[in-house]
Amino acid sequence: MTATTDGSTGAVNPRAASASEPTESTIAADDVLAAARRAAERSVEHLLGRQDAQGWWKGDLATNVTMDAEDLLLRQFLGIQDPATVEAAGLFIRGEQLVDGTWATFYGGPGDLSATIEAYVALRLAGDRPDEPHMARASGWIREQGGIAESRVFTRIWLALFGWWKWDDLPELPPELMFFPKWVPLNIYDFGCWARQTIVPLTVVSAKRPVRPAPFALDELHTDPLVPNPPRRPAPAASWDGVFQRLDKALHVYHKVAPRRLRRIAMNVAARWIIERQENDGCWGGIQPPAVYSVIALHLLGYDLDHPVMRAGLDSLNRFAVWREDGARMIEACQSPVWDTCLATIALADAGVRPDHPALVKAADWMLGEEIVRPGDWSVRRPQLDPGGWAFEFHNDNYPDIDDTAEVVLALRRVRHPNPASIEAAIERGVRWNLGMQSRNGAWGAFDADNTSPFPNRLPFCDFGEVIDPPSADVTGHVVEMLAVEGRSDHPAARRGIEWLLAEQEASGAWFGRWGVNYVYGTGSVVPALIAAGLPASHPAIRRAVGWLESVQNDDGGWGEDLRSYREEKWIGHGSSTASQTAWALLALLAADRRDSTAVSRGIAWLTENQQADGSWDEPYFTGTGFPWDFSINYHLYRQVFPLTALGRYVYGDPFAARTATDEGA
């Protein structure tokens, strides 16, 4: 990451297209079409060349250096550091430092206190001295921001493992939580699946409160080393935060008097829960953070490093490492082969690759093999529902993803397979599972139904990102689009989903993007779905969405939206143009019958002019969302699959438009 030309670390200033732009294209349509066709052909060749021999695609999934720092801290805690790993991780972390000494959580973003503290500690472990210029800049900035005391809870947990922070000054998370039935508030199934998988092992860590000898002091990261743990500011007593602060104080008292036998039973229940959810590849949920905390929890409960569960868990963590040509080692928070493969299949099919092409058939075979046919945690809320979904990762049978399942169905529908019965059966199971996962309000979340409890986010422990999984417009849009393609636009579930989407449209005409940045993603997901489900382009909701997209188009013809749009209204719809966000806007405009507009012509031109010689696009900006603002993702394949999909639909049209479009309102 580098600073901008004005010396700041922020993204470029927001800008929108001029309001005086003509409505219809003044760019020669034949020239744009010819350029789009050439760009699509190059992109197809590039994407086909990236397919794995087994049939899948996977791009790197970049997040921020906390993944790398916590990997080193875990190895230090377990006593399994090795010089090569430490050196490679240090090389990567140093390369991500900004000129002001900080580390950001997304490209072009501001320094983040917790990320900077964790990166600093990791470099200390890698041998960097605190008086070196890059380290002194970091520690000085940390002190200016309030020091360790102002960092998030998860950062202070890592520091507490080595005595750099006091366990007494952390929120309490008792393992007796495991005894709560599912109807009791704050039971583990009130949390989103990613939070649930992290919180369960952390209840064991919180109960055990381990401290390993610290290899050095961190006095330079406190505003006052003599008072390293200053008291926290109390919330107003009458507020919910005040209530939960008092609850936390009560839990700290309980920690001192908890019956030993009851606590031991609770920790054993947690251990069984963790082990039962370990995937075949040794990981937990296919994501790095739960795997890290699960390994620590089991180790604290007496599982030695040679135990099969521990060996498999540690081996799985090594598979999150991406080794770069310069010798640096980056840790992925997750891997996205199912998501990448279904999106790549859609892109190639929509760009004119014949449906029986060997690459598409091979991709379909691989996706068929990834279908999850056993119950998981989702069945706690839907016990009568038969399985039939797809997850995001290579191995994550406990947590299939509603969004992935919808997109896999859309991908499989585009493939002419030599065994069509297998495709039809998988599609039917996927559609049935998605229908059964609809929430009471008519929309869909990502992993669970009705995961909307207001209490988990109130816990003092949960100060980082989303910990529940409420329905979102982007996921609901993808499900509605899938149902429309399957000829089920009139299904009661689809109609309720459409009504929910229409009610969720904001006054600007845009939709909020939960899993992608941000309103451009939400709007780019919803408009094609509503059109596919039967809304005409003349519908007021579609007209407002089109008007908003055209109003935020950048002067260069592309679209971009900075991650700060999750916090600052002025950034909504604004930011440097990116290939993926330009494609999302184009997909909405093309679906809304704006193919001949100036906005579409300029957007297509931006894609063709910014394509690289090998048929790919470069995209340093993060356009994926883990938790809005708090955890951002750069999916390295987004910059390939979405532009190709947009170019393909511009050149060849929507492959399902004739089946789904009508001239009547919904």
Beta strands in 386-448 (DSSP E): none
Catalytic hit among 68, 340, 397, 403: 403
Answer whether 196's CB lies under 8 Å from 469's CB. no
**Which residues lie below 8 Å from residue 291, measured CB to CB, with a gap of 6+?**
283, 284, 285, 313, 316, 317
Burial of 27 (0-12, 13-18, 19+ CB in 10 A): middle
State how far the Cα of 590 lies from the Cα of 546, in Å rounded to an integer.
10
State how far the Cα of 367 lies from the Cα of 406, in Å rounded to an integer.
13
Please state whether beta strands 631-635 and 624-627 pair in parallel, antiparallel, or not at all (unpaired): antiparallel
- 435-455 CB burial, b ≥16 within 10 A, e <16: bbbbbebbbbbbbbbbbebeb
Helix (H) or strand (E) holding 633: strand 631-635
**30 is a catalytic site residue:** no
For 219-227, the CB contacts below 8 A with 24+ separation are 220/130, 220/139, 220/143, 221/117, 221/120, 221/139, 221/142, 221/143, 221/147, 221/148, 222/143, 222/147, 222/148, 222/149, 223/143, 223/146, 223/147, 223/149
Among residues 7, 6, 11, the alpha carbon closest in space to that of 568 is found at 11
Distances (CA, A) of 185 to 177, 191, 250: 10, 10, 17
Beta strands in 278-389 (DSSP E): 321-323, 329-331
Q: Considering Cα of 568, then 569, then 575, then 578, what sign does the dihedral take?
A: positive
Q: What share of the chain is helix, strand, coil (3-state, %, to 5)?
A: 50, 5, 45
Answer whether 382's CB lies under 8 Å from 446's CB. no
Helix (H) or strand (E) holding 499: helix 492-504
Answer whether 447's CB lies under 8 Å from 492's CB. no
Which residues make beta-bridge pairs with 287? 334
Answer whether 333's CB lies under 8 Å from 61's CB. yes
Query: H helices within 533-578, ranges in order?
Result: 540-551
State how far the Cα of 310 lies from the Cα of 297, in Å rounded to an integer.
10
CA 519 to chain centre: 15
CA 521 to chain centre: 13
Residue 227 CB neighbours (<10 A): 10
Answer whether 399's CB lies under 8 Å from 285's CB. yes
State how far the Cα of 468 lies from the Cα of 189, in Å rounded to an integer.
9
| N-terminal to C-terminal alpha carbon distance within the chain | 47
Catalytic residue numbers read 403
